[in-house]
Chain A
Amino acid sequence: MSATPQYRVCPTTGLKVFGATQALIKANAVAAVVFLAVGGLFGLSVALTRWPDVHLLPMDWFYLALTAHGLDVLLCWIIFFEVAVLYFASSVLLNCRLAAPRMAWLAFWLMVIGGVLTNITVLQGNSSVMFTSYTPLQAAPNFYLGLIIFAVGALIACGVFFGTLVLAKDERTYEGSVPLVTFGALTAAIIAVFTLASGAIILVPTWLWSLGYISHIDPLMYKLVWWAMGHSSQQINVSVHVSLWYAVAAILLGAKPLSEKASRLAFLLYIFFLQLASAHHLLVEPGVGSEWKIFNTSYAMYLAVLGSMIHAMTVPGTIEAAQRRLGFNKGMFEWLRKAPWGNPAFSGVFLSLVLFGFLGGISGVVLGTEQINLIMHNTVYAPGHFHATVVTGTTLTFMAVTYLLVPLVFQREIMFPRMAKLQPYVFAIGAGGISLFMMAAGTLGVPRRHWDITFADSIFPYQIPSAGFLMMALNGVCAILAATGGLMYIVNTVASVFFGKRTGDAPVKTYAATPAQAMGRPVVADYGSAGTMYIPGTIVLVGVFFVSFVLYYYVNWKYLAEVWPLR
């Protein structure tokens, strides 16, 4: 055996940070931010093209940029960041060295090679098949090959995560059960294995097809299996960013889950039911039965939605309970008013929680309702929905967490603290606006993935209502705002990581007794036990959420009832 791996003790959390883990978290986080920068730029150019009065890109560049945008942000940015989170949640939180760091480096380089290869292939111009690459549209073989290499890398990273869990248990580096955040990360990793396996099942034959070894890929089968990767991988994101909500609340406020059992049950529901979501993309498809659609699109009677709704109470609930313990006990909402809104890690997480729930969650259920999908499918409502989940949910959370990652793992101070303070708000307003205005445009019939909604080159141009044009213009304005927020994030992160002042042994500012101290102390209130939990503010928030949900759901049934009868 080699010498004991080197580690340092984190002055803020008291956790052991091993050298190899730290280097790998840094590498994956940096790669993530690079892909975010590239993908974000493509995204901005797409939004500016879809703003009818600006119409920035020529046609071929538009479809190319749209393909690259999906690839770089939805796949590369998010999965690189998630790998960093997996290493954090296993090695750091469990005080354990990382299992097989060399394999972790192999995973990293495979992901880099895969991501870069697919990007180059897209930029060569013959692979503008969108991120979904529905057959019979065909991309160059390297497009699929790059995705496969990337997926293999991500799968190895999951393996390293599982290995580290086993190692930590073997070496007894923690007592009892793993922390909730690790449990959430485990959920994500389990879903990731399912997802990546589905990806392999469909992308390997499609790659062989593009090389000419297979004659035919059934388009419906492709879509079904591809979305077992494509949609389920969004559930990896949900598991990870919900875990990070709990983590940030714990690090900043010393927050404790209201009930370990309820929060873990919610994650467990994700593992059991989220994989059915491929059906969301097949609701108006030929050749799929209604029974299949209803069962799968509802995650078997909305049991995965139930998981998210549990988190919708327990996450703000843990924050409220922690704030009340810190003395913000006046009235219904003092805990919220006097929350650390100036700390970008907190504000980012809370904004993400609200926007993900209200915009992303509700619209997702409505869009995924079998019959309502008829009046929304493939309109720009769909990107509206998933920008609310993936951008205001996942991306905003990852940005918020970066403001803790830089001092805790990179051991650098944030270089421009004022810019950091403002950034989550700018980005949240921009990204929230994108989601909202695309959804509005979708209800007016504006199609997604469309270069020119004036239909100027068509022999039978259709005139989209002028409100639709207005919505796409507002979408463009919000995209500029979101891109500004994104730029603020990237500039600040890159500057801090490379040129920021070293933090040395000074702990990061938190608002509770530091977690290190809290760990050694008996808890003040045992929220897990019946009778001591007091979260009236959260109950009001959840009530507002529930009423909005029910109203919006039935309003859309009413819209559906007004269209031409179909059977």
Chain B
Amino acid sequence: MAITSPDNRLWWKEPIHRIELAWIIIAFLWGLVMFFTMTFWHAFGQQNLSNTTYKVMPQAFAAKAERMAEQYKVREELGIPVVHPPPGSDVYLIGRIWMWWPILELEKGQSYRFHLSAMEYSHGFSLQPVNINIQLQPGYEHVFTMTPTDSGEFGIICNEYCGFGHHTMASRLYVVEKSTARSTQE
């Protein structure tokens, strides 16, 4: 029994029954399949988070974001600049208590090089309803390329607890069709 010493003192010499052995082999192979599915996705899948990260001082990161916002600001919403950077460019998003800054306006089907970092605490970039979730850490600038494939108004909420204002930390992200994008810029 499981609560007594094994009846057979040489239990490690007992053969494992073939049914049990078969299951162990199936489970092992399934593990390999899952392992290589992750690897495979890096080669052929479209959704892989980049490993590019830089160490950065929060103020230095904020300065880069402000420079971008100054250059490409198209309007303001409730005091927050809405920024329409050119497709393919570097876009910066700051997470800080308890807001996202600035608001980005992107074009559908275009790729952007995102730079994410937090100012004082960790924050969670949660793009809704797409449901892409990426962590922000102060002192780390996380760089990845993202391509919006739907247009419309999206929500960015914070899903890493960051103090008593955490539940108010929400913002928007606009994705516009290419043609309308050009006309609004003109």
Chain A interface (Cβ < 8 Å from any Cβ of B): 13, 59-60, 63, 93, 128-130, 134, 136-137, 174-181, 218-220, 246-247, 249-251, 254-263, 283-290, 294, 298, 301-303, 305-306, 309-310, 313-314, 317-318, 365, 369-371, 373-379, 443-445, 447-453, 455, 457-465, 515, 518-519, 523, 526-531, 533, 535, 539, 542, 546, 549-550, 553, 557, 560-561, 563-567
Any chain A CB within 8 A of the CB of B60? no
Contacts of B181 in A (CB 8 A): none
Residues of B contacting A288 with CB < 8 Å? 51
* B89 CB-CB contact with A under 8 Å: no
A567, B1: Cβ atoms closer than 8 Å: no
Name which residue of chain A comes closest to B9, CB basis: A176
Enumerate the 7 nearest inter-chain pairs by beta-carbon distance, A residue then B residue, closest first.
A302-B31, A462-B155, A286-B142, A447-B159, A246-B2, A309-B27, A260-B11
Q: B31: shortest Cβ distance to chain A, in Å?
A: 3
Question: Which chain A residues border B31 with CB–CB below 8 Å?
Answer: 298, 301-303, 305-306
Q: Take A371-B49, A458-B170 as given contacts and tell me if A176 and B3 are in contact as well, using a CB distance cutoff of 8 Å.
A: no
Q: Which of A447, A526, A557 contacts B157 (CB 8 A)?
A: A447
Which residues on the B side are within 8 Å of A529 (C-beta)?
14-15, 17
In the complex the two chains form, what is the Cα distance from A371 to B26 in whole Å? 24
Q: Are A515 and B3 in contact (CB under 8 A)?
A: yes
Query: B interface, by DSSP: helix, strand, loop or mixed?
Result: mixed
Bound-complex Cα distance A462 to B153 (A)? 10
Within B38-91, the residues touching A (CB, 8 Å) are 38-39, 41-42, 45-51, 53, 77-78
Known: A175-B9, A460-B170, A528-B8. A535 touches B2 (CB 8 A): no
Q: Which residue of B lies closest to A550 (CB)?
A: B30
Interchain CB contact under 8 A, A539 and B19:
yes
Q: How many residues of B contact A (CB 8 A)?
A: 93
Q: Count how many pairs of residues, one from A and one from B, have CB atoms less than 8 Å apart in the complex.
A: 318
- Pick the most buried of A290, A365, A518, A526: most chain B CB atoms within 10 A of its CB: A290
Chain B residues positioned under 8 Å from A130 (CB to CB): 161
Contacts of A63 in B (CB 8 A): 161, 164, 166
Given A374-B134, A445-B131, A455-B168: A566 and B49 interface contact (C-beta under 8 Å): yes
The reply to whether B162 and A137 form a contact with Cβ atoms under 8 Å apart is yes
Minimal Cβ-Cβ distance residue in A for B155: A462
- Cβ distance B88 to chain A, nearest Cβ, rounded Å: 14
Q: A59-B167, A219-B139, A563-B130 are in contact. List 11 more A-B contacts (CB 8 A).
A: A129-B161, A179-B1, A250-B1, A286-B135, A286-B142, A298-B35, A370-B41, A528-B17, A564-B127, A564-B147, A566-B49
- The complex places the Cα of A285 from the Cα of B136 at a distance, in Å, of 7
Alpha-carbon distance A189/B107, docked complex (angstroms): 55
- Which of B37, B39, B48 is close to A567, meaning CB atoms less than 8 Å apart? B48
Query: When the two chains form their complex, are residues B34 and A298 in contact, meaning their CB atoms are under 8 A apart?
Result: yes
Closest to A322 in B: B1
Bound Cα distance from A178 to B9, whole angstroms: 10
Task: Name the B residues within 8 Å of A374 (CB-CB).
Answer: 47, 49, 132-134
Instruction: List 11 A–B pairs whose Cβ atoms lie within 8 Å, in order of A's numbering.
Output: A179-B6, A258-B20, A259-B20, A283-B49, A286-B141, A309-B27, A371-B48, A529-B14, A561-B45, A565-B47, A565-B147
The reply to whether B2 and A318 contact each other, CB–CB distance below 8 Å, is: yes
> Is the beta-carbon distance between A289 and B121 smaller than 8 angstroms?
no
Which residues does chain B contribute within 8 Å of A313, judged by CB atoms?
Answer: 20, 23
Give CA–CA (A92, B147) in the complex, Å. 62
CB of B177 closer than 8 Å to a CB of A: no
Secondary structure call for the A interface: loop
Chain A residues with CB under 8 Å of B1's CB are 179, 250, 254-256, 515, 518-519
Within the complex, the shortest CB–CB distance from B162 to chain A, in Å, comes to: 7
Q: From residue B108, how far is it (CB to closest CB) to chain A in Å?
A: 10
Instruction: Pick the contact of A465: B2, B126, B127, B129 (CB < 8 A).
Output: B129
* CB-defined contacts of B121 to chain A, threshold 8 Å: 134, 136-137
What is the minimal beta-carbon distance from B176 to any residue of chain A, in angstroms?
15
> Which of B6, B17, B149, B157 meets A462, CB within 8 Å?
B157
Assembly CA distance A185 to B92 (angstroms)? 50
- Decide if B11 touches A527 in the complex (CB within 8 Å): no
Could you tell me if B47 and A290 are in contact, using CB atoms closer than 8 angstroms?
no
B7's partner among A303, A378, A523, A565 (CB-CB below 8 A) is: A523
Known: A247-B2, A314-B20. A449 touches B166 (CB 8 A): yes
User: A450 CA to B15 CA in the complex, in Å?
Assistant: 53
Residues of B within 8 A of A220 (CB): 137, 140
- How far, in whole Å, are A93 and B1 apart by their CA atoms in the complex? 11
| Given A179-B4, A251-B3, A290-B42: A533 and B166 interface contact (C-beta under 8 Å) | no
CA gap between A288 and B53 in the complex, in Å: 8
Evaluate contact between B45 and A284: CB separation under 8 angstroms. Answer: no
Q: Which residues of A contact B171 (CB under 8 A)?
A: 460
Give bound CA distance, A128 to B7, whole Å. 52
Residue ID in chain B nearest A305 by CB atoms: B31
Contact A290 B16 (CB under 8 A): no
Q: Which of B89-127 contact A (CB under 8 A)?
A: 99, 111, 116-117, 120-122, 124, 126-127
CA distance A165 to B94 in the complex (A): 55
Which of B2, B4, B21, B170 counts the most A-chain CB atoms under 10 A from its CB?
B2
